[in-house]
Amino acid sequence: MPLRASTELLRYSVGIALPAAAMVACTLLGNSADPSVSFAIYLFAVGAAAWFGGLGPGVLAALLSALLRARFPSVPFAEFAGRDLLGAVFFGEWD
Q: Concatenated DSSP letters for 59-76? A: HHHHHHHHHHHHHS-S--
pLDDT at 74: 58
**pLDDT category of residue 6 using cuts at 50, 70 and 90:** confident
Per-residue pLDDT, 39 = 84
- Contact criterion met (CB below 8 Å) for 8 and 54: no
Tell me, yes or no, if the pTM score tops 0.75: no
Between 54 and 73, the more confident residue is: 54
DSSP letter at 54 equals -
Q: Identify the pLDDT of residue 15.
A: 93
**What per-residue confidence (pLDDT) applies to 83?**
55
